[in-house]
Structure 1
């Protein structure tokens, strides 16, 4: 620890906490991502063992190649699982869309115009009914 001029201990933290730049992944998506990473790591390991067995001429080469192909399919499924889980989570619990103030104002204007048009139509209908369309004159 550094000492300051008067001989007292000066505390300096080892690190400073910074807020995360991005939010944490939702739990189901994170679980799928971890599963996918493990599958991909296992696939790479199997592929490397299959290659080394083939180079060494071992009897284990053929079973390892077959298992590597199966693992590749499983790893692809794992990666797709992350994508689908993320899409489903976003669809169910995703961003709540809030219309912008301009969109809200435009909708308000259109509503007001429709109300005025309906009111004018009702007024015209009343006038037509009162005018006695189809009746003899009132004199």
Structure 2
């Protein structure tokens, strides 16, 4: 079962479950519940219920795992850095002895956070370089390869013809130089 089939199966499953749930809740209250597929309680055709939303496929591919991992780490480091900077500021305003160590650790954390963001960028570039290249030659590259193939074929044919002439002992040549 492919992704599209699973998506369709999930949609119908959700629609069926929600319709069954609504019927059950309506029956508890003594209200005639909604009917699926356009049939009324009497078996007559009426309106149909649609799901509230339909899941659409993502337009972009998800981020690769190594890049996602580096990004999560960077977000955590940045969050810790912001908390440290806020604590350093509040300690400075309060005149606490903890202000100086917090300012120093905030500076160090800022360097680490910058390194983490650069790591996300580098990891993304490395992943794209290793795995992200789609091998689709352009029409220009195809034309150049075709010309090279034709040229090599002609050269091979000429070499074969020369070999054939040599094997026959020179027969077929107009002059013996």
Give the TM-score category using the shorter length: 0.7 to 0.9
1:58 to 71, 86, 96: 96
Runs of 4+ off more than 6 Å = none
Structure 2 Cα separation of the partners of residues 72 and 19 of structure 1? 38
Q: How does 1:96-107 map to 2 (within 5 A)?
A: 96-107=134-145
Structure 2 Cα separation of the partners of residues 13 and 96 of structure 1? 37
1:109–1:59: structure 2 CA closer, same or farther, 3 Å change rule?
same
Matched, 1:9 2:47: no
Matched, 1:72 2:88: no
Report the counterpart of residue 116 of structure 1 in structure 2: 154
The CA deviation at 1:124 is 7.1
The CA deviation at 1:109 is 2.1
Q: Cα deviation per residue 1:43-76 (whole Å; 9 max; x = unaligned)?
A: 1111111111111211111010000011011101
The CA deviation at 1:122 is 6.8
SS in 1 for 2:62: coil
When normalised by structure 2's length, the TM-score is 0.60
1:112–1:12: structure 2 CA closer, same or farther, 3 Å change rule?
closer
Structure 2 Cα separation of the partners of residues 48 and 34 of structure 1? 21
Q: How does 1:42-57 map to 2 (within 5 A)?
A: 42-57=80-95
SS in 1 for 2:101: helix
Say which structure, 1 or 2, has more relative contact order (CA 8 Å, 6+ apart): 1
List alignment gaps of at least 5 residues for structure 2. Answer: 1-21, 23-31, 36-48
Matched, 1:81 2:132: no
Structure 2 Cα separation of the partners of residues 112 and 14 of structure 1? 60
The size of the alignment, in residue pairs, is: 128
SS in 1 for 2:135: coil
The alignment's C-alpha RMSD in Å is 2.8
The CA deviation at 1:95 is 2.2
List alignment gaps of at least 5 residues for structure 1. Answer: 2-6, 134-139
The CA deviation at 1:118 is 5.5
